[in-house]
């Protein structure tokens, strides 16, 4: 029989129970109808390679067996046949030690996952789209996402991939029932309950130097393999992790970019197309921010340690990295930025070097639209613009200032005013007095 079939058989039987030499050899003997003498040495080599890895993937075990010299020699010498096919029956949760206290829902099979999501297994497989058939379909109702582009600085565009209502409902269930139960790194302030741009910027108030570094293509950089590994790490069996990753990632069809001029891709259009054509975290899905934060956990750990070694503070808000410190950090800041870029690259991310800023006390130090020189404050130009808009609304009426054609201009202005009141109550009080005088 073809050795490829035997390889898949041995890999499945290996993971169908405890990873102990005697038990693996026993399962292999049952699967092949004979306990060949070469099975025990092969079992030792397999377990040595995957020792302590309760989350080993069947495909990885199969590749190792196929490349093993002893197995290849046995496949050529003996007539190997299948006597019994063994599969893991109801594999249990196998989380890392830290995840044992997170109280995640125990989902052991794709059927249990489908029941937990309130759909049947055929619908779940369709939404997971593990072979990325959706990116190959023509435009129509069978696609799970809507696409639109938003202009960015430097003449580039951001692709927003919004899931359709049914898939969005499933993703929200995964977010609330699984992802929200997994803690992120303490330095993370984006997309976390109780955190905001104010908590992101606060640790950097009154520092001699503030360094801002931007991660390039943060969401599409996180691929499906990363997400699968995350779900495996928290304890889910391979088949459940694969389906969850499929539901939460997406490969963008080529026609989503038809309305975008090639000049908006910068100097690397091929890289952008490759990045989005593979399954990635779609910017617009409810699960993407939480998954991006969790997949960047190792990066946060390393950057927090790097910052401590340089006497600096570190926080992150989505793709914005912020570091700050006193005189000692001022001296090492240029070299420190190089170390951050190298660390990000080692962890699979890349730094947008054109957006890196090193801001000393003599200039405006700003993070996420907030000034942090002496205290948290809004930027003067933002305050002056809002004040001028409110004043003109009093003089000429609110419709004269609705240049963006906002459907609810009053709510739009009230939101901008509330933000100022949150950051700087004194300035917010002065603007509130103007707002209350507008003849609506």
Q: In angstroms, rounded to a whole number, what is the distance separating the alpha carbons of residues 222 and 348?
A: 8
18 and 130 inside one domain: no
**Can you say whether the dihedral through the CA atoms of 31, 33, 39, 40 is positive or negative?**
positive
Q: Give the pLDDT of residue 267.
A: 53
Of 280, 302, 322, the position where a domain reaches its end is 280
If asked whether residues 139 and 238 sit together in one domain, one would say yes
Residues 5 and 140 in one domain: no
Are residue 200 and residue 300 in the same domain, yes or no? yes
Q: How many angstroms separate the CA atoms of 241 and 233, rounded?
A: 9
Does 177 share its domain with 298?
A: no
- Domain containing 127: what range? 109-181+223-280
Q: Per the domain annotation, does 117 fall within a domain?
A: yes
Show the low-confidence residues of the chain (pLDDT under 50): 1, 89-90
Q: Is residue 92 part of a domain?
A: no
Same domain, 189 and 303: yes
pLDDT number for residue 265: 53
Residues 312 and 170 in one domain: no
Residue 211 and residue 239 in one domain: no
| Overall domain count for the chain | 4
Residue 90 lies in a domain: no
Query: Are residue 275 and residue 304 in the same domain, yes or no?
Result: no
Task: Let me know whether 58 and 29 are in one domain.
Answer: yes
The predicted model scores a pTM of 0.83
The answer to whether position 103 is within a domain reads: no
304 and 433 assigned to the same domain: no
The CA-based angle 434-438-440, given to 5 degrees, is 155
Report the pLDDT value the prediction gives residue 1, as an integer from 0 to 100.
45
Cα 360 from Cα 358, distance rounded (Å): 7
* Cβ atoms of 387 and 431 closer than 8 Å: yes
Q: What's residue 151's pLDDT?
A: 73
């Amino acid at each position: 029989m073809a050795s490829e079939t035997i390889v898949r058989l041995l890999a499945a039987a290996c993971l169908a129970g405890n990873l102990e030499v005697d038990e693996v050899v026993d399962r292999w003997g049952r699967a092949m109808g004979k306990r060949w003498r070469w099975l025990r040495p092969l079992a030792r080599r397999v377990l040595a390679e995957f020792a302590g890895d309760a989350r080993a993937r069947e495909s990885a075990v199969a590749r190792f067996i196929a490349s093993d010299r002893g197995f290849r020699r046995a496949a050529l010498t003996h007539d190997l046949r299948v006597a019994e096919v063994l599969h893991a029956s109801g594999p249990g949760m196998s989380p890392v030690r830290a995840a044992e206290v997170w109280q995640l829902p125990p989902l052991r099979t794709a059927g249990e996952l489908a029941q937990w999501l309130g759909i049947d297994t055929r619908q779940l497989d369709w939404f997971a789209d593990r072979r990325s058939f959706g990116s190959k379909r023509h435009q129509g109702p069978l696609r799970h996402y809507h696409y639109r582009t938003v202009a960015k600085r430097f003449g580039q565009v951001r692709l927003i991939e919004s899931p359709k209502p049914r898939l969005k409902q499933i993703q929200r269930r995964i977010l609330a029932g699984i992802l929200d139960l997994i803690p992120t790194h303490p330095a993370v302030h984006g997309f976390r309950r109780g955190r905001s741009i104010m908590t992101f910027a606060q640790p950097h108030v009154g520092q001699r130097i503030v360094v801002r570094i931007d991660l390039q293509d943060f969401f599409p950089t996180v691929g499906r393999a990363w997400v699968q590994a995350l779900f495996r790490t928290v304890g889910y069996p391979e088949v459940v992790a694969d389906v969850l990753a499929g539901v939460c990632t997406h490969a963008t069809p080529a026609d989503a970019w038809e309305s975008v001029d090639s000049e908006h891709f910068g100097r690397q259009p091929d890289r952008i197309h490759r990045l989005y054509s593979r399954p990635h975290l779609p910017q617009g899905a409810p699960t993407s921010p939480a998954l991006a934060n969790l997949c960047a956990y190792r990066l946060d750990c390393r950057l927090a340690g790097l910052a401590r070694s340089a006497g600096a503070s570190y926080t992150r808000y989505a793709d914005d990295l912020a570091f700050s410190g006193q005189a000692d950090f001022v001296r090492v800041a240029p070299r420190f930025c190089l170390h951050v870029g190298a660390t990000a690259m080692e962890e699979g991310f890349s730094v947008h070097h054109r957006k890196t800023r090193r801001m000393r006390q003599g200039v405006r130090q700003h993070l996420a639209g907030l000034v942090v020189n002496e205290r948290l404050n809004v930027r003067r130009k933002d305050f002056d613009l809002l004040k001028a808009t409110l004043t003109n609304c009093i003089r000429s009426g609110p419709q004269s200032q609705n240049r963006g054609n906002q459907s609810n201009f009053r709510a739009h202005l009230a939101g901008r005013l509330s933000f100022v009141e949150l950051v700087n109550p004194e300035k917010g009080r002065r603007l509130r007095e103007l707002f209350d005088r507008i003849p609506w």
